[in-house]
Structure 1
Amino acid sequence: MDTVTFGWTAAESDRAAAIRNYGLAPTAAGRPPVLPQADAEGALTNLVTLAARLCAVPFSVVNIITEDRQVQIAAWGVDPGVCSREDSMCAQVFLSGVTTVVPDASQDVRFADNPFVTGEIAKVRYYASVPLKTASGFVLGSLCIFSDGPANPTGEQIEMLEVLAHQVVEVLELQHRTLQLSETLAELKRSNAMLGEFAGRISHDLRTPLTTMLGYIELAEDDPDIPPGHPAVEYLEFIGSGGRRMLKTLEDVLEYSQVDGTLQREPVSLLAVTEQAARDLGHDLGPASGIFSDDTELVADPVQLRSLLQNLLANSLNYSSPERSLRVTVGATVSERGVTVSVADNGVGISPADRKQAVEPLVRLNRAGDGPGTGLGLATCQRIAQAHGGELEIRDSPGGGVTISVLFRWDLAGPSAVSPAGKL
């Protein structure tokens, strides 16, 4: 079937696929579809109501024309229903690309024998319809008004009907985007689940032999038959160091893979979580460690927040400046968008040219003097930020160093307030 026969820019099969992609195909039971976009049905009902009242006619519908049916997804004056495409009046003209106005359908050769006109289904006399053309060129159906008696909308009213038809298309486009987003989120969840399963399996399969190897290395290092200074001592150090790095990489990959959009949000104390994260790294808060934290309450997933703070504190410790004593401050600020948690240090910092690369997984900057790492710390923090609907920002700290900020958005976190209660 060519484009001349079926109009506009695509074959009928492509238009049918577009109708399915917009979620407008009838159900298996042959009834109008349930629109997945929460407000779409109400918005369409308002538009057909306005169309009927504006043009002073008793009936108005949004018709979707499929391969073999006419599907009414919104109606005023009648109940939405489904009929064959052969019986549809709109199917005769909707691909013309222009507005159709018929003062008396019983006198029009296109419609005189139509069951909606003859009385078999209805007795339509006045009829007008506007094609529903999407931005991509597909004509999904029409917005039509009709009456079983005389009607005489003015040219200006018909122009307003065309404006309303454009608004119907906008609602349908919004539904299309909602469906695309839902499909993308479902695919993302599936991908994350597969990533987590794969990482967990690989971690399990490699962790056991690595742990066994490191155990034997420790036994060999304590072997009295290997005297100090023997070449085997150096070899064992190299093997042990490499094994421990590999084990840390496995742990980081597993942690990275487990961060997704599934959150268990609850009110948490920033100070308490920071204390836990610092202890995980072998430090207490205070002047001795140089790590300080605000005492602020926010709503977040406590496990992911602890992971984020642990990674950021580890980076601050790893990339401290040899020119000054370490100082790291964990704080939180409130804005209209949500709560921003920041970790500011006075270390060597991250140059603006390196900041995009720094959040890529398994990428290290490899600068002179940098400590060991796997290149997954900031990438994991980036995923935690995204899981909370926010973003990660890197900027310079006043006086040197780097400040990493993560936004925890209000619209995902809920109504909990942030209540500063002093500082350590």
Structure 2
Amino acid sequence: MGTAQDFIRREAISTYRVVGEPADADLQGLVRLATLLCDVPVAVINIIDEHSQHQIAAVGIDRATCAREDSLCSIVIEQKKPLVIADASADEALARHPFVDGTLARVRFYASSPLITPEGVAIGTLCLFDSRPRELSLDRREALDLLAGQVMDVLELRRITYELFAANDRLERFAAQVTHDLSNPLSAVTGFIELAADAAEATDAPDVMHALRRADAASVRMARMLADLLNYVRVGPADREVKDIKLAYVIQEALDDLATVITESHVSVMVEANESIVADEMACGVLFQNLIANAIKFARATREDPLVEIRAVPITAGVRITIDDNGPGIAPDQRERVFGLMERGDNHDLPGLGLGLSTCRRIVEGHGGSIGITESPLGGARFSILFPRSTSAA
């Protein structure tokens, strides 16, 4: 087993995805530049984990891997300082090193600068060497250090690129899940509404017609939400249509869409939300429908008297909205995990959008706000949302 530092280094190295991969053209270019600027025949970029030294780019030799204990550069990553040795064979500590005594090579001149991540982890080196002794001027030492920084810039760009690809892949899967979960049921609901409306009109049943009109309005609203949410995934929060909206109106629309669930669950819902916020109305409809449905699900799971309370109060930074329930609550170690992408919980039968709390966080943060979970005074969970204040609120 390695040390804690070895573990940190290994985790950092894994984010760059360069070990065992073909040589990166940009890294090869920097290695070539190092040989030219410093006038040496060999330059290498080494990545060093707890077991091995991996040459991920090289000029003057073929790339190879060796054991860490045989690496000259392991000294550099431990000290996190550049090292220049004019003649390694004349250095008592290095004269019998396998890269010096002829076992693996006959290195004489050696110069190396550490590769240090933005978090301060030394993961490898940019090193130069030659089979004959030589000196390295101060200007060339500085050039080597600058090139090592450029190597880390390339590695960071590589890491960020992979993360973006991964994020886009997750969003594509998310959008596909949304389409699967909503489009087909929505089409079926719309079709049944049309059939039932025709039958109700023929039998002159005004109560049924009224209910069907409400259902039809909800399905239209749901279709708009689906189209808007998918667009939100594609274009992001910067392109949202934000304006002053009244929380009471948006929350009431969400409650109307959840009316059947509320009735069947015998849940009491209390709303005190007279504030206005600056936000996209459709996105907020998705947000509150998810959060209220989530609160109802947990409250009715364990209580015969399920209760949900929604409040909005003005604060200095904006408007604080809380949604409380008297369910079992959410354990502290799970309060961050439930916001993960596609974390849908165990109950897939709950009416509503069912898109997960990751959608809620994306919507809130897309508006410059924040969302978190604490224990509710009611005994269950409290979702706290901070939104920017309305420009008309004085």
Normalised-by-shorter TM-score class? 0.5 to 0.7
Partner of 1:34: 22
Match of 1:114 among 74, 97, 101: 97
Tell me which protein shows more helix as a share of its residues.
2
1:125-140 correspondence to structure 2 within 5 Å: 125-140=108-123
Partner of 1:175: 158
d(CA) in 1 for partners of 2:217, 2:281 = 19
Contact 1:131/1:143, CA 8 A, preserved across alignment: yes
Partner of 1:252: 224
2:64 aligned with 1:89, yes or no?
Answer: no
Three-state SS of the structure 2 residue aligned to 1:175 is: helix
Match of 2:283 among 360, 382, 394: 360
d(CA) in 2 for partners of 1:149, 1:23 = 34
d(CA) in 2 for partners of 1:237, 1:69 = 74
Q: What is the CA-CA distance between 1:77 and the residue it aligns to?
A: 0.9
Greater C-alpha Rg:
1
TM-score by length of 1: 0.53
1:15-414 correspondence to structure 2 within 5 Å: 15-26=9-20, 33-34=21-22, 41-221=24-204, 233=206, 235-256=207-228, 259=231, 356-358=279-281, 360-362=283-285
Contact 2:76/2:113, CA 8 A, preserved across alignment: no
Contact 1:123/1:148, CA 8 A, preserved across alignment: yes
Three-state SS of the structure 2 residue aligned to 1:11 is: helix
Give ranges in structure 1 of 5+ residues lacking alignment. Answer: 27-32, 36-40, 222-231, 264-307, 312-352, 365-424
Partner of 2:363: none
Three-state SS of the structure 1 residue aligned to 2:146 is: helix
CA offset digits 1:45-79 (Å, max 9, x no partner): 22212212222211111101022111111111112
Q: What is the CA-CA distance between 1:165 and the residue it aligns to?
A: 0.9
Q: What is the CA-CA distance between 1:170 and the residue it aligns to?
A: 1.0
Q: What is the CA-CA distance between 1:254 and the residue it aligns to?
A: 4.2
Question: Cα distance 1:84–1:363, how it changes in 2: closer, same or farther (>3 A)?
Answer: closer
Q: What is the CA-CA distance between 1:117 and the residue it aligns to?
A: 1.4
Question: Cα distance 1:178–1:252, how it changes in 2: closer, same or farther (>3 A)?
Answer: same
Q: What is the CA-CA distance between 1:259 and the residue it aligns to?
A: 4.4
CA offset digits 1:250-308 (Å, max 9, x no partner): 43244345548889xxxxxxxxxxxxxxxxxxxxxxxxxxxxxxxxxxxxxxxxxxxx9
CA offset digits 1:338-366 (Å, max 9, x no partner): xxxxxxxxxxxxxxx866333625279xx
d(CA) in 1 for partners of 2:111, 2:230 = 56
Tell me the amino acid that sits aligned with residue 71 of structure 1. Answer: H
Question: Cα distance 1:250–1:212, how it changes in 2: closer, same or farther (>3 A)?
Answer: farther
Contact 2:16/2:158, CA 8 A, preserved across alignment: yes
d(CA) in 2 for partners of 1:120, 1:99 = 25
Tell me the amino acid that sits aligned with residue 63 of structure 2. Answer: P
Q: What is the CA-CA distance between 1:180 and the residue it aligns to?
A: 1.1
Q: What is the CA-CA distance between 1:34 and the residue it aligns to?
A: 3.3
Deviating beyond 6 angstroms after TM superposition, the runs of 4 or more aligned structure 1 residues are: 260-263
Contact 2:225/2:282, CA 8 A, preserved across alignment: no
Q: What is the CA-CA distance between 1:110 and the residue it aligns to?
A: 3.8
d(CA) in 1 for partners of 2:223, 2:196 = 17
Three-state SS of the structure 1 residue aligned to 2:95 is: coil
Contact 1:99/1:131, CA 8 A, preserved across alignment: yes
Count of equivalent residues = 251
